Structure 1
Amino acid sequence: MIPYGRQDISQADIDAVVDVLRSDFLTQGPMVPRFEQAVASHVGARHALAVNSATSALHIACLALDLGPGDWLWTSPVTFVASANCGLYCGARVDFVDIDPKTFNLCPEALARKLEQAEREGRLPKIVVPVHLCGQPCDMAAIHALATRYGFKVIEDASHAIGGRYRDEFIGNCRYSDITVFSFHPVKIITTAEGGMALTNDDELARRMALLRSHGITRDPAQMTREPDGPWYYQQIDLGLNYRMTELQAALGVSQMTRLDTFVARRHALARRYDSLLAGLPLSTPWQHPDSYSGLHLYVIRLDLPRLDGRTHREVFEALRAAGIGVNLHYIPVHTQPYYQGLGFRAGDFPESERYYKEAISLPMYQGLTEADQDTVIRTLRHALGIY
């Protein structure tokens, strides 16, 4: 089986984790701050807060921005459910903005139209979560301009996008957002096994997220309500959670960061080769906006169904899987999930997202993918399409 994605673990990665196992700290030691500094320095953000998953990062980001009952969070339908669920965790309501059919990202024009209507109806969002699907950044300058006009906060869900750039600056620098979130799941560009990170340039947001990830507890006398009883003293000053990253995860992350740029460059080389080998087939390859340099977490094709002589999307997908090509589909539009249907969403609400879902297939894309493996993918895909 050739998977759609997988981690790349070197001996240096293994040695870094073993060193921590032999150290005095398995959690709450020096490696988490070191990993945070490595990422913040690389992308150009002032603060980075490592947590146990990107889902946790999204949650504390929403909490730090005071999202709560009576508020709205908007995001893209074409994303993993965590991008929307983080709003529900805070008691807010969630809505969606349809995608741009070329980038598969939240469409700024659709967002502008929806904001105009929401302003008339008195239900503007408190937070918008643009998702950098596949690693390609959204049009953040346009979204930031709308945020300034309408007064909402922006959380970039860059779970797919570490190592990518927007307008020649690294994604994660928060130039156009309040907070950016990365994921370090094993299929992502770099991994900490599980893990995530929230980045911000706002000192107060960083302080709040640091508090929220660790039970709302502080040992900083400056944050306490009275003088400490002694050196053992701590105070819970907020209702936080246990979202901390371990030292083992952080050590792996520090080691992986040394190869981040190499990993992304390799993905771009593979994408260029896919583009060439897929040319002329009844499908479309990913379009890259000239303002972006994608992290290329995913390589998504869209089938041209009218040209497939009756073959269906499902038949092509299943033929690939049966032949040992571990394709996937990123993602089922969130508003079509049963839970969200229970909240009132219906098929037809976001037609571009639903059209994408009927045509999209994620081909294998990871830094360890060989050209021989890629040739196997292409040969199998041609057979699945009925092209011999």
Structure 2
Amino acid sequence: MGAGPFLPYGRQDIDADDIAAVVEALGADFLTTGPRVEAFEQAFAAAVGAPHAVACANGTAALHLSMLALGIGPGDRVAVPSVTFLATANCARFVGAEVIFTDVDPDTGLMTPATLAEALERAGPGPVRAVLPVHLRGDVADLAGLARIARQAGAVLVEDAPHALGSRADFGDGDQPVGNGRWSRAATFSFHPVKTIATGEGGMVTTADADVAARLRRLRSHGMERTPGADPWLYEMREPGFNYRLPDILCALGQSQLKRLPAFATRRRALAARYADALAPLAPHVRLATTPGWSRPVLHLLTVLIDFEALGRGRRPVVEALAAEGIGTQVHYIPVHAQPYYVGRYGPLDLPGAAAWYRRCLSLPLFPAMADADVDRVVAALSRALGLD
């Protein structure tokens, strides 16, 4: 085992104020569907500059609700990058739509206007209702360019943004926070423990469209709606929804964590900068994933691209060597188009950018409680594991 405590690739950071917020919520009248839900939504909307924010059970629920709220269903198609978590593609299948997998830039892992255009041409004629760019690691996809291609196809953008809370981008119209609705119809977030803020499980959808927000709120609670002035017990359901609510207890934690977002962002950026300096001597065999010029990320993942083949090393022995020194890593992600379900549904696809990304990527520890010395320890261990020391 290494010379220090085990460093996972990511973990939550909970302090005394977070615990106090949850304890206070536990002593309140509502454990769920109470005032802390709306308070968290309002604080989150303000944090990302969005007119509306709708809390829900988790990031997958946020994606599913977005598809439902936009009326996407059987006969429709949704474009998704292959380098992402399963939920991005699965949310289309949840509503009966088909998935068009796009390739990604091999050095950023992001969907690009060129890979989206290629995927739409490959897919041929038919309705494309939504394009779901993923802000992988926290770097922002080219929303301006993707929005242009999507409009030409008659589709809207839905940002899959669980990695990108606090990230910003400038596409020539000023610095904009991810999730403010400038380029997309909706943006989805996750508060899983390894994300930038944590509620245990939890998600959020932001939108500038009041009608979409209203439908999201109905659909997260079984489709129920109440008419002002009607009998107090009366509710009506015009379409079925789901139990995708986020409890007050978790919203209390989320609101407390949100107050810490500026500090989290500052620390993540400082750690990323230290990694950049520490990894520089390992070039060209090891380098950070590329940050596009427009992206101002708060990185959720610290992903390096390693030329395992040139080094004569397999990824698994490197992962195991790092684990033996108390350093956790992860691979983000196995290309979704290669999963058995999707191969069975759509056949094999040749997406060279996704293949190149997957072949080289490895995520190293990154979380706010890390010390500067932890970064040096990780890089030194990686150098040893790769035979570069």
Check whether TM > 0.5.
Answer: yes
Aligned letter for 2:55?
A: A
Query: SS of 2:134's equivalent?
Result: coil
Deviation, structure 1 residue 307: 3.2
Describe the superposition over 1:323-372 as per-residue Cα deviations: whole angstroms up to 9, x where unpaired: 221100111111111221221332x5211111211111000011111122
- Structure 1 residue aligned with 2:181: 174
Answering whether residue 187 of structure 2 is matched by residue 187 of structure 1, we say no
Whole-Å Cα distance in 2 between the matches of residues 329 and 17 of structure 1? Answer: 33
Out of 312, 325, 328, the residue aligned to residue 326 of structure 1 is 328
Whole-Å Cα distance in 1 between the matches of residues 271 and 297 of structure 2? Answer: 13
- Structure 2 residue aligned with 1:262: 263
- Structure 1 residue aligned with 2:148: 145
Out of 131, 154, 158, the residue aligned to residue 155 of structure 1 is 158
Answering whether residue 304 of structure 2 is matched by residue 297 of structure 1, we say no
Contact 2:75 2:127 in 1 (8 A): no
- Structure 1 residue aligned with 2:136: 133
Contact 2:112 2:146 in 1 (8 A): no
Whole-Å Cα distance in 2 between the matches of residues 123 and 76 of structure 1? Answer: 19
Aligned letter for 2:137?
A: C
Q: Which runs of 5+ in 2 are unaligned?
A: 1-5
* Greater mean deviation of Cα atoms: 312-321 or 156-165: 312-321
Contact 1:63 1:90 in 2 (8 A): yes
Deviation, structure 1 residue 112: 2.0
Describe the superposition over 1:38-60 as per-residue Cα deviations: whole angstroms up to 9, x where unpaired: 01011111110000101001001
- Structure 1 residue aligned with 2:98: 93
- Structure 1 residue aligned with 2:111: 106
* Greater mean deviation of Cα atoms: 105-114 or 90-99: 105-114
Whole-Å Cα distance in 1 between the matches of residues 308 and 59 of structure 2? Answer: 35
Out of 41, 48, 53, the residue aligned to residue 48 of structure 1 is 53
Instruction: Calculate the TM-score normalised by the size of structure 1.
Output: 0.95
Contact 2:34 2:248 in 1 (8 A): yes
Aligned letter for 1:105?
A: L
Whole-Å Cα distance in 2 between the matches of residues 151 and 366 of structure 1? Answer: 39
Describe the superposition over 1:243-275 as per-residue Cα deviations: whole angstroms up to 9, x where unpaired: 000001100011011111111111111111111
Whole-Å Cα distance in 2 between the matches of residues 31 and 149 of structure 1? Answer: 41
Aligned letter for 2:144?
A: A
CA RMSD of aligned residues (A): 1.3
* Greater mean deviation of Cα atoms: 140-149 or 16-25: 140-149
Change (3 A) 1:174 1:180: same
Contact 1:163 1:260 in 2 (8 A): yes
- Structure 1 residue aligned with 2:347: 345
Q: Which runs of 5+ in 1 are unaligned?
A: 222-226
Contact 1:45 1:172 in 2 (8 A): yes
Contact 1:131 1:157 in 2 (8 A): yes
Answering whether residue 209 of structure 2 is matched by residue 202 of structure 1, we say yes
Query: SS of 2:346's equivalent?
Result: coil
Deviation, structure 1 residue 306: 4.0
Query: What are the residue-to-residue correspondences of 1:262-281 with 2, within 5 Å?
Result: 262-281=263-282
- Structure 1 residue aligned with 2:11: 6
Whole-Å Cα distance in 1 between the matches of residues 380 and 289 of structure 2? Answer: 19
* Greater mean deviation of Cα atoms: 375-384 or 348-357: 348-357
Deviation, structure 1 residue 90: 0.2
Whole-Å Cα distance in 1 between the matches of residues 49 and 22 of structure 2? Answer: 26
Describe the superposition over 1:142-199 as per-residue Cα deviations: whole angstroms up to 9, x where unpaired: 0111122221011100010011101111101010000000110000000111000001
Aligned residues: 378
Whole-Å Cα distance in 2 between the matches of residues 333 and 116 of structure 1? Answer: 20
Contact 1:115 1:124 in 2 (8 A): no
Deviation, structure 1 residue 14: 0.3
- Structure 2 residue aligned with 1:224: none
Deviation, structure 1 residue 117: 4.9
- Structure 2 residue aligned with 1:284: 287
Change (3 A) 1:306 1:126: same
Whole-Å Cα distance in 2 between the matches of residues 246 and 177 of structure 1? Answer: 27
Whole-Å Cα distance in 2 between the matches of residues 176 and 16 of structure 1? Answer: 34
Query: SS of 2:193's equivalent?
Result: coil
Whole-Å Cα distance in 2 between the matches of residues 169 and 92 of structure 1? Answer: 31
Query: SS of 1:144's equivalent?
Result: helix
Query: SS of 1:326's equivalent?
Result: coil
Deviation, structure 1 residue 102: 2.6
Instruction: Calculate the TM-score normalised by the size of structure 2.
Output: 0.94
Deviation, structure 1 residue 313: 2.1
Contact 1:336 1:345 in 2 (8 A): no
Aligned letter for 1:153?
A: V
Query: SS of 2:345's equivalent?
Result: coil
